Amino acid sequence: MDSKERSGATPQTRSQLMRNIKVITEHTGCGAAGGSGKASCGSSMGPQDMPAAVWEKVKNHPCYSEEAHHHYARMHVAVAPACNIQCNYCNRKYDCANESRPGVVSERLTPEQAAKKTLAVATAIPQMTVLGIAGPGDPLANPAKTFKTFELIARTAPDIKLCLSTNGLMLPDYVDAIQELNVDHVTITINMVDPDVGALIYPWIFYNHVRYTGRAAAEILTARQLLGLEMLTERGILCKVNSVMIPGVNDRHLVEVNKAVKSRGAFLHNIMPLISAPEHGTAFGITGQRGPSAQELKALQDQCEGQMNMMRHCRQCRADAVGLLGEDRSAEFSTEKVMTMDVEYDVDSRRAYQTAVEDQRQEKGAAKEAEMRTLTGRTSDVTILIAVATKGDGRVNEHFGHAKEFQVYEASTAGAKLVGHRRVDGYCQGGYGEEDTLPTVIRAINDCVAVLVAKIGGCPRDTLKAAGIEPVDACAHEFIEAAVLGYFKGYLDRVEKGEIEHVARGDAAIRQGAYVAA
């Protein structure tokens, strides 16, 4: 292979790229069939908020619809080990940080193994609707394995949506293949549109047999990413943009990124916190680059939400994740187990299961609307955050001590919406409360006024109260949004009667390390 290293692109390549960037900056249309921005689409919105064809694409995709993520699962198959760029937040020993939390991929699969695993998972988990390829390297740096996998799955399980996540460097070259294989959801990780910012994030890229470094590398990367996004949305393929928020590096700049991707028709923008624990061995981890706090992340997401719809429920999941977002069932489907399974793929029974899920969704929506009606006519400046322990189905159904994450809802007289989640180590370990973990749980939900749970023991109850967080188990097994609105209404009543004082809460921490709890 003719491999060279360059810190500057050739004059011709460079001028071509700069023309591309100029065109990109000037682009104002919305090419996506789904449209962009607030006008028509939204991760938490329903069929009334978007064209029917777009709703069909997102309604059971757990990443593209916040509401769907309570009910539908995705799986990733780790068929793409190689990468063609280096991100300062990635250590090759760990999953792709574009789409995963730090943690090694257990197994790498061949396309044939991946196809068999997909059928096995889809049979065991009928609410698994999406197959994604998200690493552990970059899927488009491994095009033969990636497209072979999609081809096999499209043939044997045509009801499963195909999803791809890429750094975007090779995207323009594969747009036709993506379209031909009916891959209808593509995520591009775009952390900058300014090469000077990019030079702080990407030490090198490898493109057309040449290794580029510094600003030249970032110039090529941003031009290719934005060109790829534009080409996809012109073809009506739904695109999500992931951005890693790196305080002091690209945090303010992400507002510009948001505008650039919105103008190119991106359906959804997912701003994720940098995870940079020193033990992960990434360049940012080693130099002590911090990640954002919970409120810093929320403030940026809120700022961008004025422009377009933001994804708030991303779990930065592994490249071999299986299950609902926030749960990991990959250990149940090791290659060894899957290869010995007799799989009878039955589309009809999957459809029947999903029909029951849809009934439950309707019930949940009706409960939320009924609770909203009780707030009709009330106005108030009070806005609060409420943490919720759930293990799925959109209900408050997890014990405080078993929760490995809390979903965080913002409630006001305007309604209730999910604004994030906080990972924690389970308080209850081996049947006993682990006192050392309680302060970390409190730090994770410190900006919330209450935590809604299915059940909670006396000790954590008292400690939470002392920290100013009200533990609530009175709404156990209720639908989450109805429960959040019900709590908010009671809170507002108490404030208005002078029984409690509404005071601003502090900030909260986003965990940086890997899980230690079982």
Footprint of ligand CLF (CB under 6 A): 63, 74, 76, 99, 130, 132, 134, 163, 165, 185, 187, 240, 270, 314-317, 325
Which CB sits closer to ligand CLF, 242 or 463?
Answer: 242
As measured in angstroms, the least distance from the Cβ of 479 to ligand CLF is 22
187 binds, among ligand SF4, ligand CLF, none (CB under 5 to 8 A by kind): ligand CLF
Which CB sits closer to ligand SF4, 85 or 119?
Answer: 85
What is the enclosing helix (H) or strand (E) of 62? none
Contact 396, 389 (CB under 8 A): yes
63 binds, among ligand CLF, ligand SF4, none (CB under 5 to 8 A by kind): ligand CLF
149 binds, among ligand CLF, ligand SF4, none (CB under 5 to 8 A by kind): none
Q: Is 369 helix (H, G, I), strand (E, B) or coil?
A: helix
Distances (CA, A) of 171 to 168, 230, 272: 5, 10, 22
As measured in angstroms, the least distance from the Cβ of 350 to ligand CLF is 17
- Cα 54 to its chain centre, rounded Å, is 19
90 binds, among ligand SF4, ligand CLF, none (CB under 5 to 8 A by kind): ligand SF4
Q: Residues 430, 421, 491, 414: what is their CA dihedral angle, to the nearest 10 degrees?
A: -160
- Cα 57 to its chain centre, rounded Å, is 17
Which CB sits closer to ligand CLF, 316 or 413?
Answer: 316
Which CB sits closer to ligand CLF, 214 or 228?
Answer: 228
Which CB sits closer to ligand CLF, 130 or 140?
Answer: 130
Number of H helices, E strands in the chain: 15, 18
132 binds, among ligand CLF, ligand SF4, none (CB under 5 to 8 A by kind): ligand CLF
Half-sphere exposure of residue 271: CA atoms within 13 angstroms, side-chain side: 33
Which CB sits closer to ligand SF4, 62 or 135?
Answer: 135
The β-bridge relationship of strands 161-166 and 185-189 is parallel
| Gap between the Cα atoms of 68 and 57, Å rounded | 12
Radius of gyration (Cα) for the chain, nearest Å?
Answer: 23
As measured in angstroms, the least distance from the Cβ of 80 to ligand SF4 is 9
A 10 A CB-CB count for 437 gives: 19
As measured in angstroms, the least distance from the Cβ of 174 to ligand CLF is 15
116 binds, among ligand CLF, ligand SF4, none (CB under 5 to 8 A by kind): none
Which CB sits closer to ligand CLF, 249 or 319?
Answer: 319
For CA atoms 316, 318, 321, 327, the dihedral sign is negative
What lies within 8 Å, CB to CB, of 29 at 6+ separation is 263, 265
74 binds, among ligand CLF, ligand SF4, none (CB under 5 to 8 A by kind): ligand CLF
**Nearest-CB residue to ligand CLF?**
132
315 binds, among ligand CLF, ligand SF4, none (CB under 5 to 8 A by kind): ligand CLF
Long-range contacts of 44-47 (CB under 8 A, 24+ apart): 44/309, 44/417, 44/418, 45/309, 46/365
Report DSSP state, residue 509.
P
Could you tell me what percentage of the chain is helix, strand and coil, using 3-state DSSP and rounding each to the nearest 5? 40, 15, 45
Chain contacts with ligand SF4 (rule: CB under 6 A): 83, 85-87, 90, 96-98, 135, 137-138, 167
**Nearest-CB residue to ligand SF4?**
90
Which CB sits closer to ligand SF4, 174 or 488?
Answer: 174
As measured in angstroms, the least distance from the Cβ of 8 to ligand SF4 is 22
As measured in angstroms, the least distance from the Cβ of 291 to ligand SF4 is 15
Which CB sits closer to ligand CLF, 24 or 188?
Answer: 188
273 binds, among ligand CLF, ligand SF4, none (CB under 5 to 8 A by kind): none
